[in-house]
């Protein structure tokens, strides 16, 4: 991030969100809402303001494992290095304003609307961790049942415990840890897809990391299938087994907590052995939850008129031949916006997206095939508005003179043609009389 902030010609709009996108390839108009921080650019990030702040809030960066002040910096080395105020937590005591030596606090600051004209768009929304329902496998019911992202923050040197592995209930160091794979994925009742083996590799990585800090830790991984498909991934998996990490092929149906010790009791069976059911006790359980589309992708989908796959991620032009571009010229997909991916795959697709846009924008002209809808007989148009209502690309407007079709925005999908009750709309090069004559010619030969 620091290197990106120093790159010439690269403009970063942090603490901002896209509100509207209009136009077409080479001429997109984008409106961005830059939210008020209530701190101006004079702020030097010294931290004097949050030291005196008496109000606390939920720390999103640390997955709620600790709290933060109402005035805070998002995380260490955040870009830009400015404080911001959470007005939902602020009590307006103005102690921060008195402590600020550069007079950077501005409670009258308002959101700013920025309008940009761009030629192309790369959609890189990232992903969120699937949140299991409350009570499922003890999640949000027992304090020592956590997800992988919470474990990541616990193990991080800049996390709430400064990298020391402790369990949330009492701060003790857990000695017996269970990882449960495929939580919320490969499940007909939740998410049917696999997260591209990311959950498996995160469990292998974190279990090895715990072993480095606590060699005597007893770590077990309960899995359906360990998917380590990638360069040196299988070797990495084998090394973890040599370090004493146990992998048991089993399904976990429920977890019970000992109310006195807060330890977790689990009944499981190794389906690859002849042994029966066993009750095992663990100090902490880590749920490897699936990757799901980032919050807010629905609004982006509506603004950009993109299609969505059945799994909720953005749909590419072609799943095998062109997973980068979308059906809208000038808009490409990068990373997990298109589907679950590892870091390696996300980097590869990000470079491919940049290459696709560079090739597109390097040309002086963009040619389109005029396979477009058209209203050739305005007298037939009943002005019912069904074409405008069903057009996925907002290419049709209905006026007093009838339906008008924007040939640039239209993609020739034929939705309007199928919904027009008066048959006033035709699709160039795909007219019904053409097919009728072809059918008649075929039947004549027979």
Question: Of the ranges 57-66, 283-292, 303-312, 364-373, which is most confident?
Answer: 283-292
The CA distance from 245 to 70, in Å, is 42
Question: What average pLDDT does the segment 336-359 reach?
Answer: 95
Question: What average pLDDT does the segment 143-163 reach?
Answer: 95
Question: What average pLDDT does the segment 395-403 reach?
Answer: 91
Is the model's pLDDT at 155 over the cut of 90?
yes
**Percentage of the residues of the chain whose pLDDT score is greater than 90:** 74
- With contact defined as beta carbons under 8 Å apart, do 405 and 393 qualify? no
The CA distance from 105 to 70, in Å, is 13
The pLDDT value recorded for residue 376 is 82
Minimum mean pLDDT range among 54-58, 274-278, 333-337 = 274-278
Provide the CATH topology of domain 373-445.
Answer: Alpha-Beta Plaits (3.30.70)
Q: 357: helix, coil or strand?
A: helix
The CA distance from 105 to 43, in Å, is 8
Within 10 angstroms of residue 298's Cβ, the number of other Cβ atoms is: 11
Is the model's pLDDT at 172 over the cut of 90?
yes
Per residue in 197-223, pLDDT (tens digit) is: 999 999 999 999 999 989 999 999 999
Q: 132: helix, coil or strand?
A: coil
Q: Which two tokens stand for residue 412?
A: 């020739």
Is the model's pLDDT at 281 over the cut of 80?
yes
Is the model's pLDDT at 435 over the cut of 80?
no
Is the model's pLDDT at 434 over the cut of 90?
no
Place of tokens 């939920």: 58
Question: What average pLDDT does the segment 243-269 reach?
Answer: 92
* Mean pLDDT estimate for the chain: 92
The pLDDT value recorded for residue 259 is 92
- Confidence class of residue 369 from pLDDT cuts 50, 70 and 90? confident
Is the model's pLDDT at 244 over the cut of 80?
yes
Question: What average pLDDT does the segment 338-361 reach?
Answer: 94
Q: Where are the alpha helices (DSSP H) in 76-197?
A: 95-99, 148-155
Domain boundaries, the chain: 2-126, 127-366, 373-445
The CA distance from 104 to 255, in Å, is 51
The pLDDT value recorded for residue 288 is 96
Concatenated DSSP letters of 47-90: -HHHHH---EEE-TTTTTSSEEESEE-SSTT-SS---EE-TTT-
Is the model's pLDDT at 407 over the cut of 90?
no
- Confidence class of residue 397 from pLDDT cuts 50, 70 and 90? very high
Question: What average pLDDT does the segment 319-324 reach?
Answer: 91
Q: What is the CATH number of domain 127-366?
A: 3.50.50.60
Is the model's pLDDT at 55 over the cut of 90?
yes
- Confidence class of residue 439 from pLDDT cuts 50, 70 and 90? confident
- With contact defined as beta carbons under 8 Å apart, do 199 and 148 qualify? yes
The pLDDT value recorded for residue 93 is 95
- Confidence class of residue 153 from pLDDT cuts 50, 70 and 90? very high
Q: Which two tokens stand for residue 145?
A: 């049942």
The pLDDT value recorded for residue 437 is 84
Q: Model pTM? A: 0.86
Is the model's pLDDT at 1 over the cut of 80?
no
The pLDDT value recorded for residue 265 is 95
- Confidence class of residue 98 from pLDDT cuts 50, 70 and 90? very high
- Confidence class of residue 136 from pLDDT cuts 50, 70 and 90? very high
């Amino acid at each position: 991030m620091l290197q990106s902030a120093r790159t010439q010609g690269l403009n970063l709009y942090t603490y901002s969100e896209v509100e509207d996108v209009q136009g077409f390839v080479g001429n997109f108009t984008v409106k961005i809402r830059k939210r008020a921080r209530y701190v101006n650019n004079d702020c030097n990030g010294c931290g004097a303001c949050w030291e005196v702040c008496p109000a606390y809030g939920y720390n999103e960066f640390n997955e709620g494992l600790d709290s933060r002040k109402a005035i805070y910096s998002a995380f260490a080395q955040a870009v830009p290095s400015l404080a911001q105020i959470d007005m939902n937590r602020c009590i307006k005591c103005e102690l921060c304003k008195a402590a600020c030596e550069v007079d950077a606090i501005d409670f009258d600051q308002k959101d700013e609307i920025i309008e940009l004209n761009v030629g192309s768009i790369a959609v890189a929304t990232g992903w969120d961790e699937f949140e299991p329902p409350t009570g499922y496998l003890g999640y949000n019911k027992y304090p020592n049942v956590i997800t992988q992202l919470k474990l990541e923050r616990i193990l991080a040197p800049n996390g709430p415990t400064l990298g020391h592995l402790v369990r949330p209930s009492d701060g003790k160091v857990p000695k017996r840890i269970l990882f449960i794979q495929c939580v919320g994925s490969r499940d007909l009742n939740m998410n049917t897809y696999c997260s591209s083996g990311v959950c498996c590799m995160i469990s292998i990585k974190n279990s090895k990391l715990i072993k480095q800090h606590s060699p005597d830790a007893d770590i077990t991984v309960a899995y359906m299938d360990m998917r380590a498909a990638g360069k040196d991934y299988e070797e990495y998996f084998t090394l973890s087994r040599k370090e004493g990490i146990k992998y048991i092929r089993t399904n976990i149906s429920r977890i019970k907590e000992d109310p006195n010790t807060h330890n977790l009791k689990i009944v499981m069976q190794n389906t690859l052995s002849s042994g029966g059911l066993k009750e095992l006790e663990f100090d902490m359980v880590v749920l490897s939850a699936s990757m799901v589309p980032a919050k807010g992708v629905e609004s982006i989908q509506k603004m950009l008129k993109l299609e969505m796959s059945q799994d909720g991620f953005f749909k590419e032009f072609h799943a095998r031949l062109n997973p980068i571009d979308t059906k809208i010229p000038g808009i490409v997909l990068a990373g997990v916006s298109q589907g679950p991916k590892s870091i390696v795959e996300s980097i590869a697709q990000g470079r491919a997206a940049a290459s696709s846009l560079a090739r597109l924008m390097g040309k002086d002209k963009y040619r389109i095939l005029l396979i477009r809808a058209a209203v050739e007989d305005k007298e037939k148009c009943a002005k019912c508005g069904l074409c405008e209502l069903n057009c996925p690309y907002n290419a049709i407007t209905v006026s007093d003179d009838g339906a008008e079709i924007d040939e640039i925005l239209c993609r020739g999908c034929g939705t309007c043609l199928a919904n027009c009750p008066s048959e006033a709309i035709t699709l160039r090069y795909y007219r019904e009389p053409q097919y009728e004559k072809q059918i008649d010619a075929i039947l004549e030969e027979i």
